[in-house]
Each structure stands twice: as C-alpha cells, then as structure tokens.
C-alpha cells in the first residue's frame, strides 16, 4: 500500500481548500492509499517562519513527506500565486524532498482568471523540489466547493474532472511503486 501526504496550504480557519483536501483524502483513501493530511496552518508559526526543522512538529511533517509515495499540494490563489503559508513549509524541506515522488498540484480560487497559477507559479516550485512526476493539476472554483458542517461537497460538474485528476494521480503513485522497488 502506498502512502500519500495531503498538504493543505490555506491560512483560513474556515477554508474551502481544507474542505476540498478532506474530500480528496477520502477519495484517495477509498482507492486504497494510506493518506495523511497536514494543515500547514496548524503547525507552529514561529517554527515555520524561522525554518526550525528541529521543532518536533516540523520534523514530524518533514518525515511524513520523506516517507510518502505521493504528495497532494493544495493552495488557494493569493496575489496570482500559491499562499505564502504553503511556501513557508516548502521552503524548509530538503532541496530534493520530492525526488522519487508523484506530486499533484491543486489550486482553489474565486475566479477562473487564476487558473494558470498552477502551471506558472506552483509547478515550477514543485519541480525544483526534485519531483520527477508532477501530474496534471486542477483548479477548483470556490463556488463549486459547498461547505457543510461535516465537510464539503462539490458541485457535480466540478467533481467529475477533479476526480479524474485525483484518480490519475493515484494511478501514477501506484505505477511508481514497483519502479521504485526495481531501481
């Protein structure tokens, strides 16, 4: 069984990005993966901003990512790019923290005008972390994520392509395992 870490990079307490992450974590789990979710906003602020990798909570997350086969990286769009919060975590990872892993970028935003932030802003950062397979990402409009007391549901039209992307990611994570063992 392969393991996937879901990184939620929204600073909001009531976050569509976080709700979407929970939704996707469920789906990836149902496809047979062990999923661990990390809400960057729950990590200690001081340690994050000073890149204190000796802090136990930070060290734990770095360790989780190190052992994962796949990483889903989710962020709201702020100022035409990923959130600074998410980037503070990515900044303190080892330079090639994503080597050998499959990575899925997911971005949420209020307007389709920000779609290209996935491929022009987030993807280059993920690639620089040594990921050899960043699968096609997806942009989810805020209004397609319906917050509820017990999580979120997706508008049906938005769910279909998103699930296709998530399933392709899960498939790529699975395909990676035997290759990784063989090498």
The alpha-helical segments, DSSP class H, found in the chain are 16-30, 45-49, 56-67, 84-92, 117, 123-128, 156-182
Shortest Å distance, C-beta 152 to its own copies: 21
Among the listed ranges 28-36, 64-72, 81-89, 156-164, the one in contact with its own copies (CB under 8 A) is 81-89
Binding to its own copies by residue 127, rule CB under 8 A?
A: yes
Find the binder of its own copies among 2, 17, 88, 108 (CB under 8 A): 88
DSSP 55: S
Among positions 9-68, residues that touch its own copies (CB under 8 A) are: 11, 41, 45-46, 48-51
Site string for its own copies, 98-117 (x = CB under 8 A): -------------xxxxxxx
Q: What is the DSSP string of 143-182?
A: GGEEEETTEEEE-HHHHHHHHHHHHHHHHHHHHHHHHHHH
Beta bridge partners of 139: 107
Q: How many residues of this chain interact with its own copies, rule: CB under 8 A?
A: 53
Binding to its own copies by residue 79, rule CB under 8 A?
A: yes
Question: CA 159 to CA 1: how far, in whole Å?
Answer: 25
Question: CA 20 to CA 26: how far, in whole Å?
Answer: 10
Shortest Å distance, C-beta 87 to its own copies: 3
Residues that bind its own copies (CB under 8 A): 11, 41, 45-46, 48-51, 78-91, 93, 95, 111-117, 119-121, 123-125, 127-136, 139, 168, 171-172, 175, 179
């Amino acid at each position: 069984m392969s393991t996937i870490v879901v990184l939620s990079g929204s600073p909001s307490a009531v976050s569509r990005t976080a709700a979407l992450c929970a939704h996707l974590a469920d789906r990836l789990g149902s496809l047979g993966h062990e999923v661990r979710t990390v809400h960057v906003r729950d990590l200690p602020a001081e340690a994050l901003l000073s890149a204190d990798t000796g802090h136990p909570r930070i060290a734990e997350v770095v360790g989780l990512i190190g052992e994962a086969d796949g990483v889903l990286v989710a962020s709201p769009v702020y100022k035409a790019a990923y959130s600074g919060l998410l980037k503070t975590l990515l900044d303190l990872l080892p330079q090639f923290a994503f080597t050998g892993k499959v990575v899925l970028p997911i971005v949420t935003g209020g307007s389709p005008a920000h779609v290209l932030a996935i491929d022009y802003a987030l993807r280059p950062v993920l690639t620089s972390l040594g990921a050899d397979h960043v699968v096609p990402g997806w942009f989810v409009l805020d209004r397609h994520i319906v917050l509820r007391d017990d999580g979120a549901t997706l508008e049906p039209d938005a769910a279909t392509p998103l699930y296709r992307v998530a399933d392709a990611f899960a498939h790529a994570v699975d395909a990676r395992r035997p290759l990784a063992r063989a090498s």
